[in-house]
Structure 1
Amino acid sequence: MKTLNILLVIILTVFGSYSLPAVADDQDANLAAQVVTAIEKSGDASMIQQKNTGGGIPALTMTVNPDGSEDYSVTLQILALMTALGFLPAIVILMTSFTRIVVVMAILRQAMGLQQTPSNQVIIGIAMFLTFFIMSPVIDRMNTDAIQPYMNESISAREAFDRVQVPLRDFMLKQTRVKDLETFVNMSGSDATDPADVPMTVLIPAFITSELKTAFQIGFMLFLPFLVIDLVVASVLMAMGMMMLSPMIVSLPFKLMLFVLVDGWNLILSTLAGSFG
């Protein structure tokens, strides 16, 4: 009974309501009063403010730092973080090496004439883990320069947000063609002359366009040897008068044999990883 009264008092204190329930005896009442007094003397400004106003938990509390910057309450920070997590899939797919890898893997499967092998899950898994491998230096910089100082409370959330963009910007600028960047700068009407001054809203679509172009160039180079095999097999079958036999069925084993003999997976994955160097 004592424990239940203490918990109820704490809950009512946190939510700004101090109407205490009827206690079983004087001892419980004294204990509840002591808990309320201890909470009031704890110096928690938010609880004292709630007692005076009678309201619930404040949705927004802003604190002005000595340097003029502003910090917001933990409640609002958590809300902003949960909202940002909704954009995490788009960030992983479009702002990293994931796009180039998954497009090349899909073109390779089509070039070999394999409809469902490897499956979509396997291709996505390969692209995801290869993306983590390629982006590991960028992630380490983001962790060292922004996340760890913010966790240690040495920088504010706003400064951490500014710092975490720097390694990602450097990566995207390195992989973005100047022509694509100029195109989107002109479309946006920005007066930036230095690539470092280009805003993220312009850099991201330019980076995506460059990644798609590079992926299709790599895919074209992968298509050529398999296309040659298809042409040779089709010519041999036509010369033998076997027009009713599909060349794809005959050429598929030769494609697989060629791909295995040249150690195709090692070449492709290493080339993709090296293309971001």
Structure 2
Amino acid sequence: MDTKQMYSNSTEILQAIRERKPIVHQITNYVTVKDCANVVLAMGGSPIMADAEQELEDIVRLSNALVINIGTLNDRTRSSMFLAISIAQDRGIPIILDPVGAGASSYRTNTVQSMISHVVPTVIRGNLSEIRSVAQLSSHTFGVDSAGCDGTEQIEQTKGIAWNLSRKLGCVVAVTGKFDIVTDGTFMAIIENGHPALTQITGTGCMSTAMVGTCCAVTDDYFSAAVTALLGMGIAGELASVHAGLGSFHTALFDHLSRLDGALLMQKGAFHVS
């Protein structure tokens, strides 16, 4: 796959979201739940935020993708997550996992490992420390907003970690940071779009995962879906950065996310695929 093909795939994915309005079911955290719902709406999808076990059978079966985010993990939502991924697997819809804070506590780390052994997700998106934890490598997570990959040497190390984990599990792995790295074990994308302000408001990582879920809901090319979502977040962050304050930046971010299309990605995208 080359850059031209990637732009074509992204254009089709974004158009399909507007046309089909896919239902994206999210069991996510209460810190960022509103933003995660709104970003799906901004892209043209339809979010459902349901975590009661009593309705999961019905909700998952009418959904086009399932997003699992462990940001505010507890025993009740943990049980719902395991049930939901089993139903999603049976239903044949993509499962996107955001292992928020994996490596910060044994509870989070063990939950993620149990999930992956139970059902392998379609896409795993996290920062470098979280992905290292998923890969069962030593991790230095001190909070849920730990830094991503930065610098040439670390980028090369991150590429190796992501590649090996993707090949081991048979899923797409996306590592976000100053540079975003996405691989399906065959192709590797390095995305340079983004802005430091994205790290200064809470929820942009969770929103990125929700965007990945929305893109995955309309295609079976999950590599292109993940690249499209992260390109979109990076570009929207750059465009929103002209606003002086973080509150204005937050609002402008949604404005630009709502205007994402293939032409904008082609105009502003900074990435390469190998």
Per the TM superposition, whether the score is higher than 0.5 is no
When you count helix as a share of all residues, which structure comes out higher?
1
Larger Rg belongs to: 1
> Which structure's relative contact order is higher, taking Cα pairs within 8 Å and 6+ residues apart?
2
**What's the TM-score bracket when you normalise by the shorter of the two chains?**
under 0.3
When you count strand as a share of all residues, which structure comes out higher?
2
Structure 2-normalised TM-score? Answer: 0.22
